[in-house]
Amino acid sequence: MSEQMRAAVLHAPGKLVVEQVAVPEIGPDDVLLRVSACGVCGSDIPRVLTTGTYHFPTIPGHEFGGRVVKTGKHVEPSLVGRRAAVIPLIPCRKCSMCEVGAFALCEAYDFLGSRSDGGFAEYVRVPAQNLVFVPDEVDDDSTAFLEPISVALHVIENCGVSYGDTVAVYGLGAIGVFVAQWAKVFGAKTVYAVDLDPKKIEVANQLGLYGVNSAETDAEAFLKAQGGVDRVFEASGAPAVFNQALRVLRPSGVLGLVGRPTKPLEIQGDAYEKLLRGQLTIKGTWSFEFKRFPKHAWETSLEALRTGKIQTAPIISHRLPLEKTLDAVKLMAEHSEPFYKILINPALDRA
């Protein structure tokens, strides 16, 4: 009989069951990772509750890290015991996009947590080349944040934030708050952090951002009164914000799209006129970079974590055991109680 572990297994949309399953078998180029923490991403809401994954059963969860407990025969055995964050994207390395190092645009990728089993489990099989080893200064919970931090870094680099820019970020979920922090790291003079949630505004102010509570303040009028902004990052997915974002941009400004709307977007006449006359740029951004040259984006994210330039602790609202994974997803979908970032910690099941 194979060794068993506990995992949150998705059998169909809405049917996520914590059960005993076999510990994954690893290949010669893989490691077996004991999961320390796995973040619940906004994309996990439809994946678990409505749209499902690419096949069933699947173990979701793509924002995770842990400790190596076993190595394949082609992997250095000394890696056992090392802590690491996991890059969930497994590119084919054969398509035209992979040939130029644009792995985020791979045409035939695998992905831990949606196409293959992910981190809502005690153990995960991970290709060794997808590990980013972390130093002692980075705690276990923070390993679950390297993925969204690296997504946010890709957003900033793709849209270009320069020293002295004025920036607005709409939507302070994990990606949005990390985009805002990266904008400060890249030298933005002022970063306006816009959200309806007073707790998120409080956290934004703690992080040195300029919180704007759009439930109490007309954010568009406020930003226009400041002279507009050079860069806007739309991370809320709210269709109304798309037009507002265009209207607050200065000439030659850039709108970076990060959020994924659940309703159709309609561009309003005045916003379209601003887009034309202001010669504005709209840029979409997807996933993250992790090519090794000229720099490894995940290593850049790790260094920002290690040095405290990017902070994660203020946004953690819940640490829950595997048993509560479905509850966590439903909480986020229904907003049944205040939350920020929810982490699943399998060790809590073992305690």
Question: Residue 280's domain is classified under what CATH number?
Answer: 3.40.50.720
Band (pLDDT 50/70/90 cuts) for residue 262 is confident
What does pLDDT average to over the chain? 96
pLDDT at 350: 64
pLDDT value at 82 more than 90: yes
131/172 same-domain check: no
Could you give the angle at the alpha carbon of 27 between the alpha carbons of 23 and 28, nearest 5°? Answer: 140
210/272 same-domain check: yes
71/192 same-domain check: no
156/275 same-domain check: yes
Q: Are 114 and 90 in contact (CB under 8 A)?
A: no
Q: Per the structure, how many domains does the chain have?
A: 2
Strand partners, 194: 170, 212
pLDDT at 293: 54
Q: Comparing 2-6, 116-120, 122-126, which segment has the lowest mean pLDDT?
A: 2-6
Residues 260-287, mean pLDDT to the nearest whole number: 95
113/163 same-domain check: no
pTM for this predicted structure? 0.95
As a whole number of angstroms, the distance between CA 312 and CA 143 comes to 10
pLDDT in tens, 8-39: 999 999 999 999 999 999 999 999 999 999 99
pLDDT at 292: 66
230/126 same-domain check: no
**Cα 326 versus chain centre, distance:** 19
Does residue 293 fall inside a structural domain? no
The larger pLDDT score, comparing residue 17 to residue 351, is at 17
125/178 same-domain check: no
Does residue 306 fall inside a structural domain? no
pLDDT at 348: 87
The 8 Å CB, 24+ separation contacts for 179-182 are 179/152, 179/155, 179/233, 179/235, 179/256, 179/258, 180/204, 180/207, 180/209, 180/233, 181/152, 181/207, 181/209, 181/309, 181/310, 181/311, 182/149, 182/152, 182/153, 182/155, 182/156, 182/304, 182/310
Range of 203's domain?
A: 149-284
Band (pLDDT 50/70/90 cuts) for residue 6 is very high
pLDDT at 295: 65
Residues 251-276, mean pLDDT to the nearest whole number: 95
pLDDT in tens, 139-160: 999 999 999 999 999 999 999 9
141/27 same-domain check: yes
pLDDT at 294: 55
72/113 same-domain check: yes
116/22 same-domain check: yes
265/328 same-domain check: no
Does residue 180 fall inside a structural domain? yes
Domain containing residue 98: CATH number: 3.90.180.10
Does residue 294 fall inside a structural domain? no
206/276 same-domain check: yes
pLDDT value at 351 more than 80: no
pLDDT at 290: 77
